[in-house]
Amino acid sequence: MKALLRNDEAGRIEALLQYRILDTQSEQEFDDITRLASFICGTPMAVMTLVDTDRQWFKSKIGLEASETPRSIGFCNHAIQQPDPMIIPDATLDPRFVNNPLVTSDPNIRFYAGIPLINNEGYGLGALCVLDDIPRQLASQQIEALNILGRQVMKQLEWRRNLDSLLLSTVLDTVNALVVVLNPEGEIIGFNRACEETTGYSYNEVRNQCFWNVFTEPKRCRTVRS
């Protein structure tokens, strides 16, 4: 059974891409948190996932071989739909997962506990989760410890995003040229000081506007200026 997507799914995916972390190499900062989650909960498997458009990708993992799974069968696809931890003592007794291939075949998940990774804008990006191939329960102290670790993951992600944004802004503003940064949809996500001085637009005026609408259609230009 698939989880229902939230109405802001497009915004969630856009937010996820801002972190520029998908398909990056493993890093000790995240691996240490994942391993600690496994130790605290006594589970053979733990993973930090990021839920992309069609897949859940594993930034860090313990006890799993795969680096990603289809989103349609991912437990974390359900976890990101809620603000609280998602605890499944026995997946074979849960109608959402009883026929899930991750339950009926390798890695034979029975127990799942996932902490949604929610950013400052309220988007669920993925989850920090622990898993086992036998049914089990967690003590309240273990759940609270997972919550703490989940917050540490988000602090790492936010720190990196803010640093990337600061570095990009600093570089763009020191370049003696007009620089506009576009996302894959052609929307403006970067606009340096030289562009502001030359065009008369501020970055806030053109942010997230389609580049071709702003700079090739005079009527659209006047709309943005007003």
pLDDT in tens, 32-62: 999 999 999 999 999 999 999 999 999 999 9
So what's the pLDDT on residue 159? 83
Based on the domain organization, do 123 and 179 belong to the same domain? no
Over 50: is that where the pLDDT of 116 sits?
Answer: yes
Based on the domain organization, do 148 and 70 belong to the same domain? yes
Q: Do 37 and 130 meet the contact criterion of CB atoms below 8 Å apart?
A: yes
CA atoms within 13 A on the CB side of 175: 14
Return the CA Rg of the chain: 21
So what's the pLDDT on residue 7? 62
Based on the domain organization, do 117 and 221 belong to the same domain? no
Query: In whole angstroms, what is the distance from residue 42 CA to residue 65 CA?
Result: 19
Over 80: is that where the pLDDT of 169 sits?
Answer: no
Considering the domain boundaries, does residue 4 fall inside one? no
Q: In which residue are the tokens 């989880």 written?
A: 3
Q: Is the pTM of this model over 0.75?
A: no
Over 50: is that where the pLDDT of 174 sits?
Answer: yes
pLDDT band of residue 193 (cuts 50, 70, 90) is: confident
Over 60: is that where the pLDDT of 219 sits?
Answer: no
pLDDT band of residue 221 (cuts 50, 70, 90) is: very low
Coil/strand/helix, residue 121: coil
> How is residue 47 written in tokens?
């993973």
Query: In whole angstroms, what is the distance from residue 151 CA to residue 133 CA?
Result: 26
Q: Do 116 and 109 meet the contact criterion of CB atoms below 8 Å apart?
A: no
* 200 vs 222: which has the higher pLDDT: 200
Question: Mean pLDDT in the chain?
Answer: 87
* 63: CATH: 3.30.450.40
Nearest to 50 by CA among 121, 113, 126: 126
Query: Which residues have C-beta within 8 Å of that of residue 40, sequence separation ≥ 6?
Result: 142, 145, 146, 149
So what's the pLDDT on residue 163? 63
Mark which of 133, 163, 193 sits at the end of a domain.
Answer: 163
Query: Which residues have C-beta within 8 Å of that of residue 219, sequence separation ≥ 6?
Result: none
Mark which of 130, 163, 196 sits at the end of a domain.
Answer: 163
Q: Do 86 and 77 meet the contact criterion of CB atoms below 8 Å apart?
A: no
Nearest to 179 by CA among 162, 159, 203: 203
Over 80: is that where the pLDDT of 96 sits?
Answer: yes
Task: At 109, give phi and psi (nearest 5°).
Answer: -65, 130
* Residue range 131-155: mean pLDDT, rounded: 97
Write out the residue range of the structural domain in which residue 199 sits: 175-225
Q: Do 123 and 8 meet the contact criterion of CB atoms below 8 Å apart?
A: yes
Based on the domain organization, do 151 and 210 belong to the same domain? no
Q: Give how many domains the chain has, as a whole number.
A: 2
Based on the domain organization, do 136 and 205 belong to the same domain? no
Nearest to 67 by CA among 23, 30, 101, 98: 23
Over 60: is that where the pLDDT of 151 sits?
Answer: yes
Over 60: is that where the pLDDT of 16 sits?
Answer: yes
Based on the domain organization, do 86 and 196 belong to the same domain? no
Considering the domain boundaries, does residue 210 fall inside one? yes
Helix-helix angle 140-174:28-41, to 10 degrees: 170
pLDDT tens digits, one per residue of 61-72: 999 999 999 999
